[in-house]
Amino acid sequence: MKQSLSRRSFFQSGALVAVACATSSATLSLAEPASESGKPSPINLGVASYTFRSFARAEVIGFMKQLNLSDLNFKDTKDHLPMGPALEAQALADYTAAGITLHAAGTIYFPKDEDDDIRSKFECCKRAGISVIVAGDPKPEILPRIEKFVKEYDIKFAIHNHGPEDPVFPSPLDVLKAVKNMDSRLGCCIDVGHTVRTGTDVVEAIHQVGPRLFNMHIKDLTTFEARESQVAVGEGKMPVREIFDALIATKYKGFVDLEYEIHGDDPMPGVSISVAYMRGVLTGMGYGLPSGF
């Protein structure tokens, strides 16, 4: 079912509510804005293109413009970025013309312990100028082979944890155990929703992963026991302010990519609320909104 309010009204009302809530210690237990109000935010917001999995590239570009965001974590769905030089070139040209940067790729799967399969995916990311691969559930025995490509291409490899259903990497701490003695460019993409469902403290996980955190997928849940309880960011229990504090404390330089997995046929109302809420939290922390917002 389509959500009833217009995208514009959702975005505007969401922005106002988010800013109001983010500056209210009674509502979110946030500190008062820092004295250097308006200083540049150390948190980089982006979007995982899986959010727009039902839409073609031209529509994705339009959505990004509506959100006033320029950084996309692409997934090889629809025509977001076809994996092959011929079609890929046009996609890259379209993103460049729209002022959109592809900063990560994922989730990409690595089911084969074969050089050719792995190399084709690293080559795609190299052509696109992407510095982080977000990987879905590679088998631990494949990691030494992947490590060779990480060294050759100088591309970070961030393993995405997938929660209690994942028999190998349910939590980012499980990822950390697998890569801790490998090249420093092998690390984690923390999916905060899947992380909390394992009973792992997501804030503590950020601190433990530290310099091996290369990407983050953010979402919100009304209960940490059910993945079906996903809502727009700010409408659930996710400790967004504390997550941002932890990222700043650990000097995280990557992106916090919104991965909105519900309302696939009409995601923009919830996406707009989520982005506005996170911007509101950052305002409440004393950081300035991006120009044009």
pLDDT digits (tens, 9 = 90+) for 32-67: 333 445 689 999 999 999 999 999 999 999 999 999
Q: What is the pLDDT of residues 144-187, one digit of tens each?
A: 999 999 999 999 999 999 999 999 999 999 999 999 999 999 99
Residue 4's pLDDT is: 38
What Å distances lie between residue 19 and 60, 72, 235, CA to CA? 26, 24, 14
Q: What is the pLDDT of residues 186-210, one digit of tens each?
A: 999 999 999 999 999 999 999 999 9
Taking residues 123-138, report their average pLDDT.
94
- DSSP annotation of 293 reads -
Q: What is the pLDDT of residues 231-265, one digit of tens each?
A: 999 999 999 999 999 999 999 999 999 999 999 99
Plot region of 109 (φ>0 → left; ψ -120 to 50 → alpha; else → beta):
beta
Residue 38's pLDDT is: 67
Q: How many residues in the chain? A: 293
- For residue 127, list its beta bridge partners: none
Q: Which domains does the chain have, with CATH numbers?
A: 37-270 (3.20.20.150)
Model confidence at 2, in pLDDT bands (50, 70, 90)?
Answer: very low
Q: What is the pLDDT of residues 75-113, one digit of tens each?
A: 888 899 887 777 889 999 999 999 999 999 989 999 999
Rg of the chain (C-alpha set): 18
pLDDT above 90 as % of the chain: 79
- pTM of the shown model: 0.86
Q: Given CA atoms 205, 211, 212, 218 in this order, what sign does their dihedral have? A: positive
Taking residues 210-214, report their average pLDDT.
98
217 vs 158: CA distance, rounded Å: 11
User: CB of 68 within 8 A of CB of 292?
Assistant: yes
